Structure 1
């Protein structure tokens, strides 16, 4: 185990400066620190060089506010949380040697939210980076690999947990497989590959919170609802304890509820918005107050989705999730435009709606699911 002095330096290393992490992980750690239930403060790694990102990063360690606005139990909630958990902000290009030093001494947990392209590799990265102290890899997986290689050479016995927050199914497994694959391509020692696979703890997790808008220069507006579902496994070290963090040995049930209820609802509303040529600036909130949009959604939930959950034994939990979900979709402070949700619409139909129809057929439920099938352009019968 790390000594208390070492652990106090940079126990939580965070890749990403965006408003989601500010209103989720960093907020959780801030609240936990006040209760004495966090490993310590957060060290943030900035990778982009845009003026906006640099201004945001510079403001993080000064403390910022998160405005929590929305509905809970049918009642409006407005509160402000002061977030002071970020103690250090490093830029990967400027402060790479300090990152290497932290990895060789005090880091216990790595968290990340690197956006949609975060796991994409860069052809400019190569094995020479494993020996360089003043040259920074371009891609996030290569950065992580170089840091882990340095740690392995200097601190191989210390526990390390990697907790990605990207919206990728089995994100921990996915990131581990990418890093291991690159390690093999770069011809690293077999003992190091074993270290990556057996000594490092790569955690699958699911984050669920709508962060609607940024505050300047740092901070965000977010909904009251928050969930960080984390898959249990041996050796797991958490950055903090928090009521919104749930440890589970059945992460797929959380993923399925979010995908088949929240994400499906968004895409179903977007599909009706497209097919009915609705107003260009219509929001989810406006749609939820229009019976022409909401009534079909309620029918989809009740008659076409919940029977699938019931058949799989998850109906009770799905209905409980729906109670909170209606509050979330009726959030008067959230301007979530259907035009934004409708981006990449065909891909979202295949990922969010088609699996529900296919599962009903596989289970032999005999329900027609006409509205979901219409969205998919399928015959309105499963026979």
Structure 2
């Protein structure tokens, strides 16, 4: 088999419709990218059919709006050459990691980084967290004196590369000084932010996704990308992109959810239904223009804000996406703190002290409710 320079931990439908699709399209365009070895780190036997279905070719249906126009297309993803599981194929995973890999990608879900009792054990254990498994593999690569490697976590964690690096360093605290120096100086740990709504899986493998896709990667010395793609953006800092996503897209969702909760709305209301409701759409546009935009102007980001809002409106109005307001409204008080209260704090920090009565009232009401 041809060597696979990319090793990916995680089999989620998000990855299938995001980086795996990016690499496939790059390969189709003649780039020297991929292929990919995918590793299931959970060991869940119920996902064996999915694992098998990823190899060779699987479909991704892209459905939504792009600049207001409907998009419906099916893309065949052909970037996955091998699929393994740490529960059964650990020795082969280790061989590929040591002998073939240049890039390590991961999206191991909410529990992937969570410390486990066996993480500090010297012998491999399937029950270990992803960072512990990665530490074992990095030890093997270090002992084999192979060239440096780049670690690119894609979990939705702020500064995900730095967080993963710190966790691996904790697990390796009793290792040799030389190995710890290797982790610090020779392994490249990359921070990134990913964004794409992947609404449903296809069986046995594949997914349905919106047209919008982003992989924002924070620049640093020695950085390389697995492929070139229009969805990949190299940025000097992720702060601006994180602010746009959190304080426009996510804030907009929670703004809708707050109004829905206050009106005791029906359980089957979708985001796109509210985009078709003139009163609701006007309310959203008003709060974005009058209360959110001044903060981005104060931060010197008005042009990026003005470009991002129409894209967000297209995403909200996606006629093929059944995004329930009831789902968005789960854990609403916590989301208000992270999305709306945090925006108010960020605005003040950037020098925007304009009145924001609508957002302030949402924060006050939900603080009382909590």
Distance 2:19 2:351 in 1: 41
8 Å CA contact retained: 1:137, 1:143: no
Please report how far the alpha carbon of residue 286 of structure 1 lies from its aligned counterpart in structure 2 after TM superposition: 0.8
- For the pair 1:22 / 2:16, whether they are aligned, the reply is yes
Aligned pairs for 1:181-330 (under 5 A) are 181-184=170-173, 187-330=174-317
Change (3 A) 1:137 1:201: farther
Please report how far the alpha carbon of residue 124 of structure 1 lies from its aligned counterpart in structure 2 after TM superposition: 2.4
Deviations 1:279-334 (A, max 9, x none): 11111111111233222211111011110000110010111011111111110000
Corresponding residue number in structure 1 for 2:334 = 347
Distance 1:103 1:366 in 2: 52
Query: Which of 51, 61, 75 is the equivalent residue of 1:81?
Result: 75
Corresponding residue number in structure 2 for 1:111 = 105
Give the 3-state SS of the residue equivalent to 2:115 in structure 1: coil
RMSD: 1.6
Change (3 A) 1:59 1:125: same
Distance 1:342 1:240 in 2: 37
Give the 3-state SS of the residue equivalent to 2:65 in structure 1: strand
- For the pair 1:140 / 2:120, whether they are aligned, the reply is no
Gaps of 5+ in 2: none
8 Å CA contact retained: 2:43, 2:86: no
Please report how far the alpha carbon of residue 52 of structure 1 lies from its aligned counterpart in structure 2 after TM superposition: 4.0
Distance 2:345 2:139 in 1: 43
Corresponding residue number in structure 2 for 1:171 = 160
Distance 1:256 1:297 in 2: 18
TM-score, scaled to structure 1: 0.92
Corresponding residue number in structure 2 for 1:337 = 324
Distance 2:255 2:6 in 1: 39
Distance 2:200 2:246 in 1: 22
Distance 1:136 1:155 in 2: 25
Give the 3-state SS of the residue equivalent to 1:377 in structure 2: helix
8 Å CA contact retained: 1:108, 1:237: no
Distance 1:53 1:376 in 2: 41
8 Å CA contact retained: 2:244, 2:308: yes
8 Å CA contact retained: 2:17, 2:207: yes
Please report how far the alpha carbon of residue 363 of structure 1 lies from its aligned counterpart in structure 2 after TM superposition: 4.4
Give the 3-state SS of the residue equivalent to 2:208 in structure 1: strand
Alignment coverage as a number of residue pairs: 366
Give the 3-state SS of the residue equivalent to 1:305 in structure 2: helix
Give the 3-state SS of the residue equivalent to 1:172 in structure 2: helix
Gaps of 5+ in 1: none
Deviations 1:335-369 (A, max 9, x none): 11111111221111111111211233344534221
Distance 1:254 1:362 in 2: 17
Change (3 A) 1:230 1:38: farther
Distance 1:150 1:330 in 2: 49
8 Å CA contact retained: 1:105, 1:155: no
Give the 3-state SS of the residue equivalent to 1:29 in structure 2: helix
Please report how far the alpha carbon of residue 62 of structure 1 lies from its aligned counterpart in structure 2 after TM superposition: 3.3
Distance 2:9 2:244 in 1: 27
